[in-house]
Amino acid sequence: MTRYQVETGGKLYLTGEYAILIPGQRAIINYIPIKMTACIEPAPRISLTSDMFDYTVGMAPDKGYALVQSAIHTMAMFLQKKHCQLLPFRLTISGQLGEKGKKFGIGSSGSVVVLTLKALAAFYQLTLSDDLLFKLAAYTLLKNGDNGSMGDLACIICSDLIVYTSFDRQWLQEHIQVKSLEEILRLNWGYRIERLSPKLRTHFLVGWTQEPAISQHMVNQVRDQMTPTFLQASQLASDSCLAALQSANQTAFIKAITQLHQALQDLDPAIYHPALQRLVAIAQANGAVAKSSGSGGGDCGIAFAFDDDAAQAICKQWTEAGIQPLYQEKWGNL
Ligand code: PMV
Ligand code: MG
């Protein structure tokens, strides 16, 4: 019997969170290779199981499995079939991008949609380009009322450090109301996704606060407080961060991350949960730069340390302060 296995990972924002909600803004987002896996095989009827839950479902609407079911509906629509006309399968998902029932906040909802679409593409032997996969995944999330920029999808699909330029989701929603999926996929949505290979020598460190936050709620609370000053500061700092990564300019990089940290701190007090304040303070005390990542309010923060000793000391002190070192990478042949 043919059985396919596919996987997806997570993501974290380096720059541009919140600002990226405005079409045309840019954000730098890094792939985090903590994985979710899906197995798909033929079965008498559609059956969906995830280790997030202790029950299996079919296609009768279920809150827990809503995104998985919705991705299946999108794929059925793409194949111009109803879900009951699809060759049936058993889909088993494992890896929750979290621990002990608490999510890390590295993009599990985006990841599960991409994972489901990839599993179905393998099962039906379709080769989907990154662009097509992005559009199908974004369409699925938008139909589920997601209020995000879709930067998570772009990064998870590329599995790389990327620069993402956002598109106008409002404009797309209006088209979704009146056009077929086929027509929607043919439109030029106006986003850009570019891969980035950093020359700057640095340790990229991720600390998990173990304080879950819900991005959708944070976005609803913070979105309307973005001023032109914030947007401009975020864009300038994001662009100089990009230039500094490419030209290995450590001074400029430190300045840019510090500005982004400050801009987020000024945007809304809910962003810097006390655990994120601790995370940043520990990094700074060891000569590193750090900031909250994504919507904040908990989840993860990131730090950049410029030598091995600092990186080690930060991870040790984070652990002592209840912040779990979740992941690290070395950049620029360090
Ligand atoms: O908290 P995260 O990692 O899901 O990131 C959210 C980033 C926002 O810009 C605040 C929202 C978005 O979808 O872009
Ligand atoms: Mg978050």
| pLDDT tens by residue, 145-181 | 999 999 999 999 999 999 999 999 999 999 999 999 9
**Residues 283-303: tens digit of each pLDDT:** 999 999 999 999 999 999 999
User: Which atom of ligand 1 is nearest the CA belonging to 107?
Assistant: 4
pTM above 0.95, yes or no: yes
| pLDDT at 333 (0 to 100) | 85
Both tokens assigned to 100: 């002990």
Query: Would you say 135 and 183 are in contact if contact means Cβ atoms under 8 Å apart?
Result: no
**Residues 207-246: tens digit of each pLDDT:** 999 999 999 999 999 999 999 999 999 999 999 999 999 9
Three-state SS string over the chain comes to CCCEEEEEEEEEEEECCCHHHCCCCEEEEEEEEEEEEEEEEECCCCEEEECCCCCEECCCCCCCCHHHHHHHHHHHHHCCCCHHHCCCEEEEEECCCEECCEECCCCHHHHHHHHHHHHHHHHCCCCCCHHHHHHHHHHHHHHCCCCCCCHHHHHHHHCCCEEEECCCHHHHHHHHHHCCHHHHHHCCCCCEEEECCCCCCEEEEEEECCCCCCHHHHHHHHHHHCCHHHHHHHHHHHHHHHHHHHHCCHHHHHHHHHHHHHHHHHHCCCCCCHHHHHHHHHHHHCCCEEEECCCCCCCEEEEEECCHHHHHHHHHHHHHCCCEEEEEEEECCC
Q: How long, in residues, is the chain? A: 334
Q: What are the pocket residues of ligand 1 if the criterion is a CB atom closer than 6 Å to any ligand atom?
A: 13, 17-18, 20-21, 105, 107, 148-149, 151-152, 215, 219, 294-295, 299
What is the strand order of the sheet 300-305 is part of?
289-292, 300-305, 202-208, 324-331
Strand partners, 99: 102
> Of 37 and 333, which is predicted with more confidence?
37
| pLDDT at 182 (0 to 100) | 97
- Residue 100 pLDDT grade (very low, low, confident, very high; cuts 50, 70, 90): confident
User: Which atom of ligand 1 is nearest the CA belonging to 16?
Assistant: 9
Nearest ligand to residue 294 Cα: 1
pLDDT at residue 266 tops 70: yes
pLDDT at residue 96 tops 90: no
What is the pLDDT averaged over residues 67-85?
Answer: 96
Q: How far is the CA of 164 from the centre of ligand 2 (A)?
A: 17
Token look-up 């494992």 returns: 94
Closest CA to 59 of 100, 116, 111: 116
Both tokens assigned to 255: 């300045």
**Residues 102-116: tens digit of each pLDDT:** 999 999 999 999 999
How far is residue 317's CA from residue 20's CA, in Å, rounded to a whole number?
32
| pLDDT at 168 (0 to 100) | 98
**Residues 117-147: tens digit of each pLDDT:** 999 999 999 999 999 999 999 999 999 999 9
Q: How far is the CA of 168 from the centre of ligand 1 (A)?
A: 16
Q: How far is the CA of 1 from the centre of ligand 1 (A)?
A: 40
| pLDDT at 61 (0 to 100) | 98
Closest CA to 306 of 285, 282, 286, 326: 286
How far is residue 257's CA from residue 260's CA, in Å, rounded to a whole number?
5
How far is residue 271's CA from residue 214's CA, in Å, rounded to a whole number?
11
* Cα–Cα separations (whole angstroms), residue 9 to 32, 38, 105, 193, 292: 6, 12, 12, 17, 20
- Residue 195 pLDDT grade (very low, low, confident, very high; cuts 50, 70, 90): very high
Q: How far is the CA of 257 from the centre of ligand 2 (A)?
A: 18
Nearest ligand to residue 155 Cα: 1
* Cα–Cα separations (whole angstroms), residue 326 to 209, 264, 316: 10, 22, 12
* Residue list, CB under 5 A from ion ligand 2: 105, 215, 294-295, 299
Buried b / exposed e across 263-278, counting CB within 10 Å, b at 16+? bbbebbeebbbebbeb
Query: Would you say 260 and 232 are in contact if contact means Cβ atoms under 8 Å apart?
Result: no
Q: How far is the CA of 319 from the centre of ligand 2 (A)?
A: 20
